[in-house]
Amino acid sequence: MEIGLDDVDDLCTGAAFLGAGGGGDPHIGGLMVKEQLRAGRRIEILDPDHLGEDSLIIPTAMMGAPTVLLEKIPSGEEPIEALRRVEEALGRKADATMPTEVGGINSTIPLYVGARLGIPVVDADGQGRAFPELQMETFAINGVPGTPMGIADEKGDSACLTTDDHHRMEWVARGITIRFGGTAYFANYPMSGAQVKRASVKHTLTLARAIGGIIRNARGRGGNPFEELERFIATTSYGVARRIYSGKIVDLDRQTKEGFTLGTVTIDPDTGFGPPCRIKFQNENLVAWAGDEPLAVVPDIIAILDAETAVPITNETLRFGQRVVVMAVGVPEIMRSPAALRQFGPAAFGLEEEYTPLSG
């Protein structure tokens, strides 16, 4: 399968939906991808189940505070340089790249890298959504080493990091990212085709494209995109999606700190009755409450959508007065194991809530 110009906007919309409010602005990445396609380059998407066992796949992505990304546009050389640093460390060229997460700009960075270097992009990722930290990957919980890791910025600065501890990889890389100005581009978790098959959340790029198409087509024909999303997601490995709140944004506390976008958004109910909804985020939405009652919590996806169009709103673009619908989405089984919950469940974020899988 190939990604064409007509696919990019749908994929970006779907990636923003799966990104749980984070992952970086997909519009910026979409523009980068479109530029490559208009220049005549191709983007081949590979089914992970068809990878050669010994193929070398090097994921590529952006890290840092999404709010910074709006003002610090990438040149495009950063993820290329990061991947080159990993290739140099391994003494071997990548056969393909892939996303570390399907959310936001990180669904499109590998597409850009693939187009630039003429290598395919694997239809899978390590999160099935977006998470804020590098160790929060299904790759990590399935034993894939995180390094060597290449990291680069728009000034041409780069580094290669080696450690046998995933949490330390995050800690050191976050420090470099802060000193790079709040955002950086990286390549890590180099792995074989056999490891991709075992350790990834599969077919998430095509899922993102399908979700974006549902939102666009429902708007175009006057349908109900929320109902259509709920019906479609029920047929996927994510299992369930449902609306958990609707109303108007009345308060927003958002700051950039320690390389993350942190904050809380408060939504008053449409009806004018009942408790407000509060959503806490660290780049991505982590937990939604109505009053003191938790409505949804990580690793389930909490997406804030425009009430009229169902277009996802990323946390760096939330504004006072927006009318929104909050939708919660379940996650695939690989993301709900005890090992997965230790890595990116509520306790990993210091939350007191217990994880209960979302029900229909």
Q: How far apart are CA 310 and CA 218, in angstroms?
A: 9
**177 vs 104: which has the higher pLDDT:** 177
Question: What's the Cα-to-Cα distance from 309 to each of 49, 68, 161, 325, rounded to whole Å?
Answer: 35, 26, 43, 10
Structural domains in the chain plus CATH codes: 5-202 (3.40.1610.10), 238-349 (no CATH)
Span 284-309, mean pLDDT?
95
Residue 360 has pLDDT above 80, yes or no: no
pLDDT value of position 112: 96
Give the CA-trace dihedral at 247, 248, 250, 251, to 10 degrees.
80
What percentage of the chain exceeds 90 in pLDDT?
82
pTM: 0.92
Span 1-8, mean pLDDT?
90
Residue 216 has pLDDT above 70, yes or no: yes
What is the 3 state secondary structure string of 168-183? HHHHHHHHHHHHCCCE
Q: How far apart are CA 25 and CA 23, in angstroms?
A: 7
Q: How far apart are CA 116 and CA 187, in angstroms?
A: 15
Pair 21, 281: CB distance under 8 Å: yes
Span 240-247, mean pLDDT?
96
Residue 103 has pLDDT above 90, yes or no: no
**103 vs 144: which has the higher pLDDT:** 144
Span 325-350, mean pLDDT?
95
Whether cis (ω within 30° of 0) applies to the bond prior to 269 is no
Pair 56, 190: CB distance under 8 Å: yes
Residue 28 has pLDDT above 90, yes or no: no
List, as one string, the DSSP characters of 193-241.
Answer: HHHHHHHSEETHHHHHHHHHHHHHHHHHTT--HHHHHHHHHTTSTT--E
**307 vs 104: which has the higher pLDDT:** 307
Span 32-45, mean pLDDT?
95
* 268 phi and psi angles, rounded to 5 deg: -85, 145
340 pLDDT band (50/70/90 cuts)?
very high
Task: Name the residue among 211, 205, 151, 148 with its Cα closest to residue 181.
Answer: 151
Q: How far apart are CA 24 and CA 317, in angstroms?
A: 10
286 CB burial (10 A radius; 0-12, 13-18, 19+): buried
pLDDT value of position 110: 96
pLDDT tens for each residue of 63-75 = 987 777 667 778 8
What percentage of the chain exceeds 70 in pLDDT?
99
pLDDT value of position 149: 98
Report for 19-28, 62-71, 144-153, 261-270: range of highest mean pLDDT: 144-153
